[in-house]
Amino acid sequence: MSKQYEVSKDGFYGEYGGVFVPPPLIPVLERVAEAFNQYKDNPDFIEEYNYYMKDYVGKPSPLFFAKNMTEDLGGAKIYLKREDLNHTGAHKINNTIGQILLAKRMGVKRIIAETGAGQHGVATATVAAQFGMECVIYMGELDTIKQNLNVFRMELLGAKVVCVKDGDRDLKAAVDAALMDLVANHDTTFYLLGSAVGPYPYPTMVHHFQSIISKELKVQMAEKEGRDPDYMIACVGGGSNAIGFFSEYIGNDDVQLIGVEPAGLGIETGEHAAPITDADPGVIHGFKCYLMQTADGQPDHCYSIASGLDYPGVGPEHSFLNDEGLADYVAVTDFDALDAFRYLSKAEGIIPAIESAHALAYAMKLAPGQDKEKIIVVNLSGRGDKDVGTILDSEKLAYELKAKYDEEHGE
């Protein structure tokens, strides 16, 4: 059984997605959509993508049976899909390789991208170096200060990092600056977007390139267990690792798909980044989705300890899957994610990304009550090396913020 829906011609998943952009961008997006649809099933294109996935990224990523964790929790069997072992340490490279190969086919020599914490910027600068393309990364000034190590990484890889001093000097300001660049330079430039968000064709294209996770898993599950998993759990920021992980299983009634949003300090505090759990539909960055928004529909403040999950919107396909009941969405706090981060490090000798630790934390709640025959697969979207330098500070900050909230609300 496979998924029972398609994205519409104008880029909608039900009421979500679409193309909500200024008129000059419409032909630019149409050219990208045309190229994507032309090449995605082209045998030469697929062969080249598979070559880089195998020899450059190191795929397939292993499916690891977490024996210690399984025995310790005493319920369902837990497997980890090891996207953390990819080159550059996360799933993002699956998408950046796909998009840069497309850019190459389109005859483009210049790549631009936005980045918040820097992870997508690093993945983009990496492939730009490999393919010998000029690379410009837009980053809010505040983020360049917080993530100066990633700025250095991108520069080492040959990218130019533009420090954006407009607006709130954050990710949103960086996206706006990148879009202005695209409008001015669309003849020579490809905008390489980092998650399953943005106007069509980006959510569909990112799903396509990330679906390699799911395709590998199908084969690995057949080898190891001879059947599909009962539960599949992934963290959801924009939603690219989750949609790629779910892809082959969408519409399969035997498999429960669970997306984990970041509950930050707790949903009740408002300090979270969980729009499906606690927000209404709205428009951000050219598409419609569940969105944390102000009274006049502007994207609102959001917060998570995991910078990769700290986004007020979410992919349109996830918004749709939620409404259709094809996947379930839950939320996990900073504190539970921190516990899972420490737990996996000790239990299995694997330090997970703090983003992925959100998915793990939910698996740790789910597993103990389950029959021993049940199977849970967690998508380990990235490794935690990037977090070890900052986790102590952010952990302290999260506890301080929560204590302040509790005091103000008399708890």
Ligand X SMILES: *Cc1c(COP(=O)(O)O)cnc(C)c1O
The footprint of ligand X (CB under 6 A) covers 90, 92, 119, 195-196, 235-241, 308-309, 353, 355-356, 381-382
Q: Which of 83, 114, 248, 317 is catalytic?
A: 114
Closest distance to ligand X from the beta carbon of 124 (Å)? 12
Structure tokens at 86: 């990819």
| Residue 258 near residue 231 (C-beta atoms within 8 A) | yes
Handedness of CA 25, 104, 241, 112 (dihedral sign): negative
Phi-psi region of 410 (alpha: psi -120 to 50; beta: other; left: phi over 0): left
Handedness of CA 279, 328, 5, 376 (dihedral sign): positive
Residue that is written with structure tokens 């389950």 in the block: 370
Q: Which helix (H) or strand (E) holds 232?
A: strand 231-235
> Between 60 and 237, whose beta carbon lies closer to ligand X?
237
| Residue 174 near residue 117 (C-beta atoms within 8 A) | no
62 C-beta neighbours (distance < 10 Å), count: 15
Instruction: Say how far apart CA 193 and CA 197 lie, in whole Å.
Output: 8
Closest distance to ligand X from the beta carbon of 315 (Å)? 7
> Between 11 and 203, whose beta carbon lies closer to ligand X?
203
Q: Which of 59, 77, 81, 92 is catalytic?
A: 92
Structure tokens at 300: 């609102």
381 is catalytic: yes
| Residue 360 near residue 311 (C-beta atoms within 8 A) | no
Q: Which of 214, 247, 319, 381 is catalytic?
A: 381
> Between 309 and 347, whose beta carbon lies closer to ligand X?
309
> Between 169 and 386, whose beta carbon lies closer to ligand X?
386
Instruction: Say how far apart CA 321 and CA 328 lie, in whole Å.
Output: 8
> Between 329 and 370, whose beta carbon lies closer to ligand X?
329
Handedness of CA 273, 276, 279, 283 (dihedral sign): positive
214 is catalytic: no
* Phi, psi angles (nearest 5°) of residue 114: -100, 155
Instruction: Say how far apart CA 219 and CA 212 lie, in whole Å.
Output: 11
92 is catalytic: yes
> Between 83 and 271, whose beta carbon lies closer to ligand X?
83
CA gyration radius, the chain: 20
Closest distance to ligand X from the beta carbon of 198 (Å)? 11
Residues belonging to the chain: 411
Residue nearest to ligand X (CB): 382
Closest distance to ligand X from the beta carbon of 73 (Å)? 22
Residues annotated as catalytic are: 92, 114, 381
